Structures are given as C-alpha cells and as structure tokens.
Structure 1
C-alpha cells in the first residue's frame, strides 16, 4: 500500500520534471486548475501582459476546455478592437478549435440532454460535462459576436442564426438546471452559474438591440430578447466572484459607452459604467483596457480635457497591442474635433491613415473632412491636398465578407463631388461625420462647445444663403446645415428654434438630390425633440414615418437600430417583450 502511494508520487514528479519545457499531455488538467489558470491569464490581460496570457493558455488549448475558451476569448477581444479582417479570421479559426476541444468533453449524443440529472449526481465527471456545455455555448456566442462585428448588414448574422440558436438553447437548458439546483454551493457550480449569466445576459441584450425587421427574419427560429432581463443577468454576473465576472463587466461597459450611442438613442448609463469600473481601476491602475474605458466615460460626460489625458496615459501604458493605441487615436481625434481644435484632430487622423488598417477609406475621408474645416493657411502648413485626398477615398473601399461597410459607402458617396474638374467643396464635412458617429449627443453635454459649433454652422449657413451661383448641391448642403443647427439648438435648450430648423429640412424634401438620408434622419431627430417635450404621440408619429416610408438611403441599418431604440423607450415597456 505504502509502495503504491510512493509510486503515485513518482509519477507526479515525472510529470512535472520538464514543466518549463512543455507539460506532457499525459498529465490530465483538472477543472479546478484549468479555471484558476484561465483566471490568471485574464489577470495578465488586464495588466497589459497579452502575449504572456496567450503563452500560458496555448500549451493546454487542445486538451482543456477552459484553456481553449480563454485563448479564443483573448483573440476575440483583439479582433473586436481592430475589426481587422486578419484578426477576425485568426479569432474565427481559434474558435473552431475551441469548439472541437469542448465537444470532446460534452455529454454524448445530446444537445444538452438532462443536465438536471447531472447536477443532482454532482460527481467530477458530471461537473466536467456541465462546464463543457457552457464553454461550448460561449464559443458559439463568440462566433456570433464576430459575425456581428464583421457585418452591420446582418445577412451573415441571420445565416449564423442556427449556430446562435444552438447556443441559446444550451444556455436556456443550463439556466433550467441552475434553477433546479439552487442548494449546490461548490466552486465549480459558482463558476457554472457565472457562465450562464454571461450567456443569457449577452443574448438578451444583443437580441433586444435588433430592429423588428431583422428579428422577424430570426423569429422563425424562436428568438426574442428582453433588454431589462439581459442587463440584470449581466449585473448579477459582474458582481459574482467568478472567472466570468470581468467579462460580464466588460460587456456592460461596452454596451453603456459604445453600443447605446452608435445603435441607440445615446443614453448609456454612465453611473453604472463608473461603478463597474471602480474595483478594476483599484486592481489594475495601469491596465490599458481599464484606462481606455475610464477615458471614454470622461469624454461621454463632456470632460474632454480629462479624457484626453487618460487616453494619452492609456497609450503609454503598453506597446504590445497597437490596436489599443489606434482606438485612442480615434477617440482623441474626436475629442479635439468636438472642441474644433482641427490641427490636433488632423494629427490623429493622419496617424490613423498611416498606422491602422481598419478602414483606410474612412480615415482618409475623415482627414480630408478635418482639413476642410481649416483656413487655407493652416492647410498649407500640413502640405496636404484636400482635393487629392477626397479623390483617393473611392479606391480605398474594402469589402468584408462580400459586404461593404455602410460608413465607407457614405464616405465614398460624399467624395464623388471631388471627381468633377472644378469640384464644389463639401460644407462642414467634419461636423457631418460627427453626426454620423452620434457625436452631437456627446458635445451636447458641454454648452461652450455646442455654442462654438453653432457659430461655425451659422457661418456656413450664411455663406450658402449668399451664394451668388448656387450649385446643384445647394439644397442638400442647406438641409445638412439646418439639421446640424437644429441639433445644436436642441442641446442648448432652444427647442422651438430647433423645431423650426428640422421642419425647414422636411419642407425641402423634393429639392434634395443626393443626400436622401437627411430626411429620415431629420424625422427621427424631430421625433426625439417631441419626446423630450413630453409629446409621445407626436414623437411616435415622426419616428414611425422615418421607419416605414423611406428606404435605400445611406446608413439605413444604423438609423433602424436607433429608431428601434427610440420606439422602445417611447413605449416605456422593457425592450423586446412582445
């Protein structure tokens, strides 16, 4: 007997003798250790040690589901930061490997089978099978997220619908088994619970954002999302002490600081974002991901100076993931633009053109648009040729998964004006782009910056009004100027004047020749204005009009997301409930 024990010890020693070299696969990785190592890897990521994190997970990524999942999670984070085709492909292939690894641990021949009976038995093997279900579902969810990131047009999202469905069903089953086994308190069970909350929460949140017409396409496979429920699940997950609590927190942060602005009506919950971030700021004061979100929250609060200092700190905090630098350049470009510091904004736009491969067309257009806001003298010092830049845009358009990016299409369409032998320059193009990215909601927090923008807009309005020989673009340009003017007035609380600007745009509808997007977007803005004044009926009428009577205009899907968010908030019901 004693001999047997000694033997066991020897085996273990053999196993770790070359640990620094490569741990042989014969040493089976147990669930508890796997979760701990994956937690270590996540901590490394939050401390800017990205390659160390990947090195820790890689050796076991084919033999342990948590190592596989952790490895793909980091690559998915990287891909969602860059939106770069190469990174998306790399993440996709790791997810496929991870799915295979998880598959090996799953309960045979069932999607989920009777997980409930697994839990009641609670043996090690069954514990492993429970976790295999949740890891498998999480990989499918990551796959869906990447598909989502890749393509704002949703076609591929629908094609991936069945994969998503499997994932959703697994999560629902897992949730049922959680409810059935409330008394179990083991660590593995807590980890399992964290996984369910992350999945069910993200699902409900993601689905609640989708406009009705897209949901209808998904409806046949039984989807609906409840935003309130999704958020509460993610909040519970974020406050739990599990491996996935940081992922729940990051999902909520991304939702509150980006998604709700670009695809919603711009009302992210900043108080929640700050309280979610607080413990991580204590724990990872130099962590670039944490610094980035802190900076973003300051910017959304209208504190541009503080935000800039923090973005700069974020840039100097690490050199390994350049993508984070590019995100900071993009944000810095905007915070300078909000204050019309065009020369500084230009420097960041120029850096993006040179360094980032996300979308050359958008960067070059953005750079040209910023230069268009400067005086001739200022442009001279940069040595740039605005006309030449606008002419380059069309050739830079890329196709991702066979679809072009809506914002790129928009930039290409606007640049065509410079193709003519004697082009008519765009009016305030940088402010138009600011609107496209929903920047007016952010500037609106600062009366001084909004007033200053209004001055610029009124100068443009004056020039158009006094144009001795109006071009074919004149009506479109005037409508753009009126719409942006209305937005500034709204944020300054001058609501009647704002309404006049918006109605002026609508009355010019028949004269618009190119920028047809201005009408549905103005209807939407007028709707929000009436909502602000408490006239929900009028608000709904305008927004429904934008939704039903217009199609095939620039950035249509983006407006439909915003319309969906606005109508949901007008109904006052939790989003996504039938």
Structure 2
C-alpha cells in the first residue's frame, strides 16, 4: 500500500499495525543476518533471507530516525504502540551485539535514541542500562557505573535486571582496573544470580588472586568452579569451559598470572578502558609480573604460559593506547599519556611477535597465539596495512594449528567460536570502517 501511494506513505494504515510490521519484519530479518553461515545456509533453503541494512531501516522507520537529524520525525502523538520496542531493539544491536559484528553498527544513532527516550522516560530502566553501555563504549566507565547504579535504584521488582547492572559494573570496574570494586560485583552475582555460576565464581576468585590477598578464600572458590558449570541444549558454555580450564590450572600450579586482567580481556574491558588507566595501571601491573617471571627463570612450572600471557596483555594494552576503540570519546580534559602513538604501536607489534615466537613453548593456554593474530590484525588495519591485516585474520580462520607446544595440542582452543565470529566480522569490515 505504501508502494502504491504517490508519497510512498499511505496514511490510511493504522500506526499501531504499521509499527508492528516494522518490528516483526525488521527483527526477523536482522536475526537471520546474525546467524552463523552453516545455519544461514539451511534457513535460506526454506526461502528466508536477511538484509541487515533493510532490517535496521525498518526498525528506524517506526520512530522516524534518520542519520542526519538528532530528533525523530515521528512525534509521540503519531507513533505506534511498538515504537519503544523498535527503539530498544536498535539500542541492543548497536550497543550490545556490536561486540560481535561491525556491519551496520551506528553508535551515534543509538546515542540519539537513548537521549530522546531518556527525556521521555527519565526512570526507564532499559534506557538507563543503554545509557550505561553507551558510556562504557565511549571509554567512560565511571559514568557507566553511575547509570547502572541509577538503573538499580529506579526499580526493585525485577532483581534479574539488577544482575545485568552488576555484570556490567564488574566489567566497567575491570576497565578502570579497580579490582576491589569489581570483586564486590562478582560477590553479588555469585550469591544471587543463576546465569553462569562458574563465571561468577571464577570472577570473584580471579579478583582475590589479583589482589594477592585471602589466598585461602580464592582457593576455596576456585575449587567450586568446575562443579558450577551448566549446559544449554546439551552444550557447554564457552566462557564456562574457559574459566574451568583456568581453575584446573590454578589447582595444579597453585597460582595464576594476571587472572583478572585476562578475564578483562575476554569481556572486552580493554577496549572500554581510558588510555591513562591502560598506561598507568594495567601496563604497570604487567611489568611487575614480567619482572617476577624474569627472577623465577624459565625452568619454573608454567613459565612460558605466563610469559606469553603477560606479553599478549602488554600487546593489547599498547594496541589500544596507539589506536583507541573507534567508539571511544577522548575528552579535552582527558589526562595525557607519556607515550606517543608510534611508540605504542611499535611496542604492541613487538609484544605480539614475542607471543608468536614463544607460542610453541605453551603448554596449556594455546588460545593466546590465535587471539594475538586477531589483535595484531586489527592493529594493522588501524594502521592502514589492509593486506597484512587480512593475512592475520586468515590465519585465525584457517583452522590450522598456529602453534604446537610440548603437549602437542589437539582439539579446540578456548573461546574459539567467539574469536572466529569476531574475525569474520573484522574481515568483512576491512577497508570499510575503523576496527
């Protein structure tokens, strides 16, 4: 009917029906575009097809959102009943699902949607959560924590929404390298939430180990990690498999190198961290650990796993010092860092090359080599070296063993599926948008 109208918009169509069509058609098409390639092939056999650009456009139409205007073209009096759901769907895609994809992501649009809805619903818990995630993506974790705290204060009926705030605050505090505050968030999650007991328990133990205090308490929690694992449709949760492996490693060698920082990397806290935190806190902690390793010597148990982990984390830190996340907002009053972009980039490349050089010596943490190729690929893409970046992404996706240590690794490495998802997304975005 819209197509038959001279203006492209038939006013006789009920606005509530229209918003429902936009929501249903847009969301179904968007979900299809997020499916893995193997599943997508089967879905397309039944005639279903996803177009991300069209899907996002339909969801935007419900509220009248455009890229060239800060205000929507559809007012409150003209909107359909499902307009707010469309707005929240856009917010979730641009701010949460953007962790795994680059195509179609527009954080600026999400910011417009959040600001407009925040004026309309100042105590709306979902938009407060969105505002917190927006601040986190802008590398403003302190502001994010304020929004998450507010989201918990405005409602007490749904405790699970509090748990979402606590999870985000745990990651935000890791981005600030505030281990004590992150520990308190993990404690609440371990006590109350049933989402992923293994991850919550390990997060608490990792912060205790990182703080070098209460080692007996840390060990008692570590011992519970494997028993807390859950399965979904008969499949293990990748993050729980990862923390279970780290827990077994701790019980075997009685210590872990930078466990909270390693967890921060897995939950993307590095990309949310302010540059001064990366340089003045995280890098300092890494250097202290490298100093300890040099004193222990390479003959100590687990030395090369710890050494490679420390160098890998050093490379990631320097990578974000050289090229902050594209969505990060660097304000004029942001404290300067005493390192140039060229120095940070050179240090990052050197650290990743050290990971590749010593990768064959790894006994357990084989995932580090693959993630190092991915992170170096993103760094080179930021630098403008597209061909070399593609080579590193190809290595990650090749299925080849990029290292063979003393244990002769067989099978999958930790978080392999998540890394492949991000590597595919990065490959698609090469040369099109910042990584």
Tell me the TM-score normalised to structure 2 length. 0.83
Residue aligning to 2:354 = 504
- Is 2:276 the partner of 1:448? yes
SS at match of 2:210: coil
Q: Which of 388, 410, 414 is the matching residue for 2:220?
A: 388
Higher helix share: 1
CA displacement, residues 340-393 of structure 1 (integer Å, 9 cap, x when unaligned): 2222211111111111111111100000011111133xx38xxx6111211110
Q: CA deviation at 1:542?
A: 0.8
Please tell me whether the aligned partners of residues 527 and 540 of structure 1 are also in contact (alpha carbons under 8 angstroms).
yes
Residue aligning to 1:565 = 425
SS at match of 2:96: helix
Q: How does 1:20-35 map to 2 (within 5 A)?
A: none
1:204/1:477 CA distance change after superposition, 3 Å:
farther
1:266/1:385 CA distance change after superposition, 3 Å:
farther
Structure showing greater radius of gyration is: 1
1:441/1:224 CA distance change after superposition, 3 Å:
farther
- Is 2:332 the partner of 1:332? no
Question: 2: CA distance between counterparts of 1:522 and 1:196?
Answer: 44
Residue aligning to 2:365 = 515
Please tell me whether the aligned partners of residues 210 and 561 of structure 1 are also in contact (alpha carbons under 8 angstroms).
no
1:302/1:466 CA distance change after superposition, 3 Å:
same
Q: CA deviation at 1:266?
A: 11
Q: Aligned-residue CA RMSD in angstroms?
A: 2.3
1:297/1:284 CA distance change after superposition, 3 Å:
same
Question: 1: CA distance between counterparts of 2:346 and 2:395?
Answer: 21
Question: 1: CA distance between counterparts of 2:431 and 2:194?
Answer: 41
Residue aligning to 1:432 = 262
Residue aligning to 2:229 = 397
Question: 2: CA distance between counterparts of 1:309 and 1:186?
Answer: 45
Tell me the TM-score normalised to structure 1 length. 0.63
Residue aligning to 2:208 = 371
- Is 2:95 the partner of 1:257? yes
Question: 1: CA distance between counterparts of 2:48 and 2:431?
Answer: 21
Please tell me whether the aligned partners of residues 29 and 51 of structure 2 are also in contact (alpha carbons under 8 angstroms).
yes
Q: Which of 314, 329, 337 is the matching residue for 1:485?
A: 314
In the alignment, structure 2 segments of 5+ residues that lack a partner are 65-73, 323-343, 401-410
In the alignment, structure 1 segments of 5+ residues that lack a partner are 1-176, 574-578
1:530/1:187 CA distance change after superposition, 3 Å:
same
Q: What stretches of structure 1 move > 4 A for 4+ residues in a row? A: 180-183, 265-268
Aligned length: 386
Please tell me whether the aligned partners of residues 349 and 366 of structure 1 are also in contact (alpha carbons under 8 angstroms).
yes
Question: 1: CA distance between counterparts of 2:29 and 2:12?
Answer: 27
Q: How does 1:149-188 map to 2 (within 5 A)?
A: 179=3, 184-188=10-14
Residue aligning to 1:248 = 86
Q: CA deviation at 1:457?
A: 1.3
Q: Which region of structure 1 is more displaced relative to structure 2, 407-416 or 397-406?
A: 397-406
Question: 2: CA distance between counterparts of 1:183 and 1:259?
Answer: 31
